Structure formats: structure tokens, C-alpha cells
Amino acid sequence: MMYAVIMAGGSGTRLWPRSRLDRPKQFHKLTSDRSLLQETVARLDPAIDIGHIYIIANESHGPAIKEQLGGLPVSNFVAEPLAKNTAPAVGIMAVILHEKDPEAAMVVLPSDHYISRGDKFRRLLGIAEEVIREDEEALLTLGIKPTCPETGYGYIEIGNEYKEIGEDKIFRVKSFKEKPDAETAREYVTSWRYVWNSGMFVWKAGTILSMFETHAPDIYAGLQEFRRALGAPEESKVLEKVYREFPGISIDYAIMEKAEKVLVIPADMGWSDIGSWSALHDLLKSEEETNVITGSHIGVDTYNSLILGGDRLIATVGLDNMVVVDTDDVLLICPKGRSQDIKTLLDRLKEENKTRYL
């Protein structure tokens, strides 16, 4: 069987002030009348049944998940005691799925990305499953064909061709690249041998566990301790204990950059991680209208701007390439080109003990 694990623990700080610690961006309706989390689940239908979809997130987000995903079995929500990056979360979910089904194929997905071509996405999942069924040692990732010299993403360097299935080619991964500077990013984009690292993975649960044993034995020891407690009264207590002992490390650093048989499928499926207000504006704007506006607004000479409000009227004059986001307690105004600098604002809020706005 194929199972999906949706990682919903991100804080989504780059879309502040809409995205907050108690309700980060995956729970917001940004691209449709459904939240990004709901869109992620809906995108899997009919490839993966709702009963085979698992969500792992901070315990405090449990009520929002249950509210938005009413059809999800209660047992399919796994509460992280602490935020420890993606490797511990992947390991815990691999243990749960492997105990449930020793042959489980495991799809790992972020909860807050946008994909316009759901049909292409599902087809690639099917191809990925075919590959890992034929070669159980394979770890497969979906790489996004770059459309611009983006410096905010990690890149994957494509190696030799591994296999061709229909119109899609699967390649060996030669290396993983850190977020590049602008010049390096331009070099990557002009070469077909680089794709964006999407954070979407497919592998057998048993395979990734063996990779933890080989490449991250400190995490593997905790996973084995958790496995022994599964279904026992002390399960939640053991989960909290091992989480406190886990290092905070991504699955990329812990496993993917060390494993031998890592494969990538270059994908063109209308993907965005909506990593800034500027990215959301570019995603939603149309050829006819360069402004993206929600809520009550009146404007004069207002162009190329993202204006998100509610019932309170937002009036603008002479705005160009701006972001305006109005919430009950915060009004954000910044140039589109500076929307990545919101992290600096959040650091200032912490320094000035204004954490109620986080």
C-alpha cells in the first residue's frame, strides 16, 4: 500500500502577519477557498485514500487539523512533542507505517506548497512508487524544473540517467547544493542539470529506517525505543523522551546527502512553496490585472501590488509593487522586493518582548 505523510509542523513566518505561531500558513486559505493543508490532502485523491494519509505536526495544531480534515481518522494525526526539524518526524512516521505494513511505500510531503497540475503530480507519484517497488534501496525525490535564478531554494544536481518511464526520465542525484548566491543561481538555471529541491520524497518505510540505522544511528536508537513502546500505555511518554534526545536535523542532512542510491524526477507541475508575499502575488496575479486584492479596498494609481484585508477599508494612492496585509492587530506595509525581510521584523518583535504579535 501507498501512504502519505504530510509534514504540517512549519511555522510559516515568511507570511506574517497572517501566519502566526498558533495558526501558521498551512491553515490559511491563500490560493483557493480551501487552506493549503486541505489542498495538499485533496491533491492526493484518488491516488491515496484519506485513511492512508497521516499528518505530523505540533500538538497545539491538533484542533485546527481536526477542524479542517474532518474525514481524517483521529489516529492518523501524530503530535510532535517538540520541533526538531524533518529527520526525526520522518523517522517516527516510518516506524508507525512499517509496523502497520512492512511493505508500506511512504510519500513525504510539505503541507504548505502549491501545485497547479495535480494530475501531473499524481502521475509522478505513481512512477515513483513503481521505481521503489522495483528497487527497494532507492530513495526518490521530486525536483522542480527552475523557472528563474531563485536564491531562496536548495538545488539538486542531476547525474546520469537511471531509467525512463513513458515521457518522464529518472536520474541519479549527483549532489545537493545549498541556497546559492545570485550569480551561481543564474548558472544553475542556464544548465538543465539543476532542479529545485522540493522537499517531496518517496521511499519504502523499511528502506528509510535502514538508512537511519546506517547514517544516523543516534536517531535510529531513539526510533527503536519508540517502536518498542508502540501501542503500550507509555507510548506518548516514550515519544516525548526520544524527541528530547533527537538532534534537530533535516532529512536532507541526516540521510539524503549521505545515501548512495538517491534518485530524482525533474517535475514541471506548476509548483510554488509560497515562500513570501511577493511569491503569492506573482502566483495569483493575472495578465489582465496586476493587483491581487482581497477584502475592502479602494485605490487610485495602484499597480502591481498585493493588498489583503478584511472588512476595514484599505485606501491606497500611488502604490506600485507594494505589499499591504491587514489583520485584527497588525498592519504590514512593505515593498514587494523586501517581503523576504519579514524575518528581521520578527526578530525585532522578540527583542522588544512583543511576542503577542508572533
pLDDT at 91 over 90: yes
pLDDT at 115 over 90: yes
For the record, the C-alpha cell of 1 comes out as: 500500500
User: Based on C-alpha coordinates, what's the Rg of the chain?
Assistant: 21
Q: Are residues 246 and 342 located together in one domain of the fold?
A: no
Q: Are residues 204 and 299 located together in one domain of the fold?
A: no
Give the list of residues 6+ apart from residue 94 with CB closer than 8 angstroms, or none: 106, 205, 206, 208, 209, 212, 223
Mean pLDDT of 246-269: 96
The last residue of a domain, from among 272, 292, 325:
272
Strand order in the sheet with 292-294: 292-294, 306-308, 322-326, 331-335
Q: Are residues 255 and 301 located together in one domain of the fold?
A: no
Average model confidence (pLDDT) across the chain: 96
> pLDDT value at position 224?
98
Which residues sit opposite 264 in a β-bridge? 141, 171
- The answer to whether 140 touches 155, Cβ cutoff 8 Å, is no
> pLDDT value at position 1?
87
Its domain, for residue 194, covers 2-272
pLDDT band (50, 70, 90) for residue 218: very high
Which of 127, 112, 97 has the alpha carbon at shortest distance from 61?
Answer: 112
Mean pLDDT of 338-357: 94
pLDDT at 251 over 90: yes
Relative to beta strand 77-80, strand 105-110 is: unpaired
pTM: 0.94
pLDDT at 141 over 90: yes
State what percent of residues in the chain have pLDDT above 90: 94
> pLDDT value at position 17?
97
pLDDT at 12 over 90: no
pLDDT at 296 over 90: yes
Q: Are residues 11 and 93 located together in one domain of the fold?
A: yes
Q: Are residues 56 and 164 located together in one domain of the fold?
A: yes
- Encoded amino acid at 358, one letter: L
Mean pLDDT of 111-122: 97
The last residue of a domain, from among 247, 272, 297:
272
Q: Are residues 240 and 295 located together in one domain of the fold?
A: no
Mean pLDDT of 271-281: 95
- The phi, psi pair for 5, rounded to 5°, reads -115, 115
State what percent of residues in the chain have pLDDT above 70: 100
Task: Please provide the size of the chain in residues.
Answer: 358
The last residue of a domain, from among 272, 301, 318:
272
Mean pLDDT of 194-213: 98
Q: Are residues 119 and 218 located together in one domain of the fold?
A: yes
The enclosing domain of 119 has a CATH number of 3.90.550.10
Q: What are the pLDDT digits (tens) for 72-90? A: 999 999 999 999 999 999 9
Q: Are residues 257 and 307 located together in one domain of the fold?
A: no
End-to-end alpha-carbon separation of the chain, Å?
40
Mean pLDDT of 89-104: 98
Q: Are residues 327 and 254 located together in one domain of the fold?
A: no
Which of 192, 180, 54, 28 has the alpha carbon at shortest distance from 114?
Answer: 28
Q: Are residues 80 and 102 located together in one domain of the fold?
A: yes
pLDDT band (50, 70, 90) for residue 10: confident
Instruction: Provide the H-helix boundaries in the chain.
Output: 36-43, 62-68, 86-100, 118-134, 182-190, 205-215, 217-229, 235-245, 251, 277-284, 342-351
307: left (phi over 0), alpha (psi -120 to 50) or beta: beta
> pLDDT value at position 340?
85
Which residue has 510554488 as its cell numbers? 272
pLDDT band (50, 70, 90) for residue 287: confident
For the record, the C-alpha cell of 357 comes out as: 504579535
Q: Are residues 288 and 251 located together in one domain of the fold?
A: no
**Furthest-apart CA atoms within the chain: distance in Å:** 65
Overall number of domains in the chain:
2
Q: Are residues 65 and 195 located together in one domain of the fold?
A: yes
